[in-house]
Amino acid sequence: MTLRVFFLLMLCAGLPITASAGDLPTPKQGPVLRIQGSNTIGAALGPALVEGLMREQGLLKVHSETPDKANELRVVGETAQGRRVMVDIAAHGSSTGFTALKNATAGLAASSRPIKDSELLALQSLGDLKSPGAEQVIAIDGLAIILHPQNPLNQLNTEQLAQIFSGEVKTWEELGGSGGAIHLYARDDQSGTYDTFKEVVLSRRGKSLNSAAKRFESSEQLSDAVSLDPQGIGFIGLPYVRQAKAVAIVDGQSQAMPPLNSLIATEDYPLSRRLFFYLPPNAKNPWAEALVAFAQSSNGQAIVAANGFIAQTVQAMAVTPNALMPEGYQALSRHAQRLTVNFRFEEGSATLDNKARQDLTRVLDYLQQNQKTNRQVTLVGFGDAKSDPARADLLSKLRAMAVRRELVKSGVVFREIRGFGAEMPVAANSADEGRIKNRRVEVWVY
């Protein structure tokens, strides 16, 4: 919907239009946009992005107002004529965002997990919410497993996590530690953080959360509770570790990975996840469209980083070779740097997923700005061990070729295309979720 069409619709509906902020309309009454969904996004990142957009639009006196209802706020700015422009944000969990889209009580859903098939079906009248324009990855987050700062454990694997949070492992002594009974802390059922943990840790192993776990709607309150309990363990979004201690995580045959920014940016960290805005294609709101575009911009991604999440801005990083790497990969790491992005693919497909489509532009911008477009780029593909090794080798190289085809269109001349098959897994190959993560393409520059 163009702004011109939006204005005509407003006029036909008898709604008054006042002076616009920048290019965006400001109706005389009510908020210009309602956002509902993830507490992870809505607590701080969402409001910060809205404030950034308002300032970019030239609004004055931008600030947040907190109503009486918990986990809700209103971001307010003023036009030069003194007109209040308001965006309402309700952060009650990812599921509530899709419910609000269905009920037409929100123009944008914030989610810390991908939309479920059941939600996609329920919202089909709004258009395809899995299309590239609708499903917008705005940041990368990592679920941190947090302990009391004095807990001596530094590493856990995902199988242990499932046993701990299902209640099968009941004491710290069973994990080689000390302290007696384990106290469980978890987000509430509406939370995308909980949905993600349930999906990647519990459900994958046929387990469910122990009913003894203390549940929280607020990420901050959960983290603070764990940091005060020597017997506590919880899971939380990366920006909310606060005073607690985060441990390294192992998944399947992967190396132990702490929740470092570089490992989360590439989504190699076993408990990394994507944060989304979902923009309904058939019920567009100009402010929602503008906020999505702003979130993807360099200014928006700077706000993402400032709020403790991982921005999708592409950077080069040195990788230290070690004996667990294939020799060819060790040689590459000695002479080149890896970019902080992995290309991944739609499930059961060689088609780049929606984030990868966005990342093509980011990678191309990086290569052009740093004059790396002429034989200074190597693509490295990886597969999973589901099929035989020879087929995994072939498929890993074919995935790299799929990325090459897209970047060649913009004039990139590659140095080399490599495939390492099922080597160096970053996740367990025992479930589709892990196999999808292992099917990836890395970008290296000389």
Helices (H), 57-131: 94-102, 117-122
pLDDT tens column, 5-16: 333 333 333 333
How far is the C-alpha of 383 from the C-alpha of 392, rounded, in Å?
6
* CATH class given for the domain over 314-445: alpha beta
Task: Cite the residue boundaries of each domain of the chain with CATH code 3.40.190.10.
Answer: 3-134+279-306, 141-263
CB 80 within 8 A of CB 60: yes
Q: Write down the pLDDT at residue 389.
A: 76
Mean pLDDT (the chain) is 91
Interval 185-206 mean pLDDT: 90
- Nearest in space to 342 (alpha carbons), one of 373, 325, 317: 317
CB 333 within 8 A of CB 438: no
- Determine phi and psi for 369, rounding to 5 degrees: -65, -30
CATH, range 3-134+279-306: 3.40.190.10
> Looking at the predicted structure, is the pLDDT value of residue 432 above 90?
no
- What is the radius of gyration, based on Cα positions, of the chain? 23
- And the tokens for 5? 């069409």
How far is the C-alpha of 311 from the C-alpha of 275, rounded, in Å?
11
How far is the C-alpha of 422 from the C-alpha of 157, rounded, in Å?
20
- And the tokens for 199? 């999906």
Catalogue the E-assigned strands of 207-271: 214-216, 232-237, 245-246, 248-250
> Looking at the predicted structure, is the pLDDT value of residue 322 above 60?
yes
pLDDT tens column, 72-120: 999 999 999 999 999 999 999 999 999 999 999 999 999 999 999 999 9
> Looking at the predicted structure, is the pLDDT value of residue 18 above 60?
no
Count of beta carbons in the 10 Å neighbourhood of residue 172: 22
pLDDT tens column, 157-167: 999 999 999 99
The amino acid at residue 85 is V
- And the tokens for 365? 């911008």
pLDDT tens column, 225-273: 999 999 999 999 988 999 999 999 999 888 899 998 889 999 999 999 9
Task: Choose between 446 and 70: higher pLDDT.
Answer: 446
Q: Write down the pLDDT at residue 10.
A: 37
Task: Cite the residue boundaries of each domain of the chain with CATH code 3.30.1330.60.
Answer: 314-445
Domain 141-263 in CATH 3.40.190.10: yes
Task: Choose between 58 and 308: higher pLDDT.
Answer: 58
How far is the C-alpha of 310 from the C-alpha of 293, rounded, in Å?
17
Interval 36-47 mean pLDDT: 94
